[in-house]
């Protein structure tokens, strides 16, 4: 499993505003917040505990996030299904902010939107790298099998 990541940590201001517009949920160890290809249900702010973001069929790229991390930003901005999955590594407390409430906040507060889009850029770059690496690994696996036949 990858190291604890901090590229998705929010400022104290964004954390406070998100906590005020979302719903607190308690999740158990190994409980999923969202799955790959699941319809978007908004962003998740980790309040306590640890949550793993994972790439389907490629655990080498898993990353663990702790309190202050905001998960699900790319899918929430685009409205598309999640491209990664999120599972609690420990018992955790998260705040779920529905997509429309998050987008309304982004429209109303440009400084917080800038912070979230910076986060989006970092996460999008990671996702692209992760998916490219997974494709390369799959291609290598397929060519290795083709040469042994």
pLDDT at residue 57, as a whole number: 79
Mean pLDDT of the chain, nearest integer:
89
Q: pLDDT-derived band of residue 4, with 50, 70 and 90 as boundaries?
A: very low
Alpha-carbon distance of 143 to 81, in angstroms, equals 31
pLDDT at residue 111, as a whole number: 96
Q: Where is 132: in which H helix or E strand?
A: helix 110-148
Q: What is the mean pLDDT of residues 87-116?
A: 97
Alpha-carbon distance of 87 to 36, in angstroms, equals 11
Domain segments of the chain as ranges: 12-148
Alpha-carbon distance of 12 to 118, in angstroms, equals 16
Neighbouring C-beta atoms of residue 71, cutoff 10 Å: 23
pLDDT at residue 2, as a whole number: 43
Please give the CATH topology (third level) of the domain spanning 12-148. Answer: Jelly Rolls (2.60.120)
């Amino acid at each position: 499993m990858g190291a604890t990541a901090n590229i998705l940590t929010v400022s104290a201001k964004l954390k406070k505003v998100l906590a005020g517009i979302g719903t607190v949920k308690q999740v158990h160890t190994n409980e999923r917040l969202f799955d790959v290809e699941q319809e978007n249900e908004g962003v998740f702010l980790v309040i306590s505990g640890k949550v793993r973001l994972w790439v389907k069929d490629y655990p080498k790229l898993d990353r663990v996030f702790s309190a202050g991390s905001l998960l699900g930003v790319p899918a929430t901005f685009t409205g598309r299904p999640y491209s990664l999955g999120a599972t609690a590594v420990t018992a955790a407390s998260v705040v779920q902010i529905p997509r429309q409430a998050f987008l309304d906040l982004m429209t109303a507060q440009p400084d917080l939107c800038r912070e979230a889009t910076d986060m989006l850029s970092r996460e999008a770059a990671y996702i692209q790298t992760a998916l490219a690496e997974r494709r390369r690994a799959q291609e290598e696996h397929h060519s290795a099998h083709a040469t042994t036949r």
